[in-house]
Amino acid sequence: MDSGEALAAPLHVLFFPFLAPSHMLPLLDIARLFSNHGVKVSIVTTPGNAHLVHPLLHHSLHLIPFPSSTFNLPSGCENLTVLPLSLTTNFFSAVFSLRDPLSHLLSTLHPDAIVSDSNNLFAHCVVNDLAFHRPYDSISDPSLPFSIPGFPHSVHLIRSQLPELFDYPPMLDCIRDAERSSRAVILNSFSALEADYVEHYYNLGHLRRNLFLLGPVSIAGQPVKKEKKMEPCLERWLDKKEDGSVIYVAFGTMGRMKEEQIKELALGLEISGERFVWALGSGEVEEWIPEGFEKRVEGRGLVLRGWAPQTEILSHAAVDGFMSHCGWNSVLEAVTAGVPLITWPIHSEQFVNEKMVVEVVKVGVPAWEGVKSVKEEEKVVVPAETVAAAVKRLMGSGEEVVAMRKRVAELAQLARKAVAEGGTSHADLSRLIDGLIAIRNEHRQIKG
């Protein structure tokens, strides 16, 4: 290929998501957006995660083997959500061992840029080794509260509410180094949701003009009429309920609770008297539901096993509340649907997200006040009466909740405007792709 052909060729971007659905799906949505804009897309994952890639992107899929047995992981366990917490270290070690296979693949595919999840820290090193430049998808006193310095709002946390990564300084150093040396940072958000923090990020200096907000990616580039994923029985159940009368309860694919907490949560939903849909998941937690619970709430409450079509449920007119673990995807999906939240953070950055929802944006209420921690040994069991009170508070008609509903409805409109043509997120996507093409062409001209 001569220099003229090289400059005219489509931009080629490789996407390398972390091996967990809550990380993969948003990055795959971003890959779809790039593809819709004429970018050649390559997606790298392992065989056990290939089913998460949309059929329209299968032609872009490149699989690298996952070394389960080498790291004493059960055969076929290639996804963090299917593993017990005791094997998390083994899993991360296995993920880090993918550095060499990724390096080999990059040297074969020669993409112009790489978009990697922030948990795939070694990808940054591989990129530097091969002289690639990637827009970085960051998308980071035990008991005394402290204020996060420099934030636009006064946000107070305690040490045990910081993400688990803060217990591993070398990993934090890698993240900081990656952000500083990367060409750009991609965020699954939109400017109207956190404008003050976008400005704060810009003012950090080394990232000025290289921040791109592409979200909410779950609705960006979607057809007006999407294929329905909701089971007919669930849809019929919701259709029979009054508008705004149902609360949806879900804690994500990685949100694990103890048996005692599951029982208290069930009893809390029962005594609240409110209508609910509870996405329980599957496995041993099913055995922890109090005996006779589903019979007692029949007609008023519905328990879902396995995967639940969360975005469709939240978008249904009957649903006007969401009890959530505050995973960022779930927060964005709630805001996009115009649904206020009950916050119940469990791990990772979810405690920081709770502060955003409750104190900054003010579209949610906490499930409980008091001790909250990422550490299992410090977690408290929230009693049924407290759960019920939070549900009744959110589903009520108090002045506080009315203001929340108004605010989240406004944000829902702004979210859709952001991803529409001419919106801020749509413009950022175009700006990002144009910038990558310019960088690609500059490097090809230098190489001759």
Which pLDDT tens digits describe the chain residue by residue (448 residues)?
Answer: 444 555 667 899 999 998 888 898 999 999 999 999 999 999 999 999 898 887 778 788 999 999 988 988 888 888 888 777 778 888 888 888 888 888 888 888 888 888 988 777 677 667 665 554 333 233 345 667 777 777 788 888 777 777 777 776 677 777 777 777 788 889 999 999 999 988 888 777 655 558 899 999 989 877 656 666 788 999 999 999 999 999 999 998 777 888 899 999 999 999 999 999 999 876 656 678 888 999 999 999 999 988 899 999 999 999 999 999 999 999 999 999 999 999 999 988 999 999 999 999 999 999 999 888 888 888 899 999 999 999 999 999 999 999 999 999 999 999 999 999 999 999 999 999 999 999 899 888 887 6
| Domains of the chain, CATH where assigned | 3-222+419-447 (3.40.50.2000), 232-415 (3.40.50.2000)
pLDDT at position 1: 47
Residue in the structure block whose two tokens are 């649904």: 339
Helix (H, G, I), strand (E, B) or coil at 323: strand
Q: What is the DSSP string of 168-180?
A: -HHHHHHHHHHHH
What ranges in 226-357 are assigned the alpha helix state H?
A: 232-239, 259-272, 293-296, 310-315, 328-337, 350-355
- Tell me which of 37, 54, 110, 117 is the catalytic residue: 117
Active site residue 2: no
Would residue 117 show up in a list of annotated catalytic residues for this protein?
yes
The encoded tokens of residue 51 equal 């089913």
Identity of residue 162? L
* Bridge-based pairing state of the strands 211-213 and 61-63: unpaired
**Biggest alpha carbon–alpha carbon distance for the chain:** 74
Radius of gyration of the CA atoms of the chain, in A: 22
Please tell me the distance from the alpha carbon of residue 75 to that of residue 95, in angstroms, as a whole number: 15
**Confidence (pLDDT) at 285:** 64
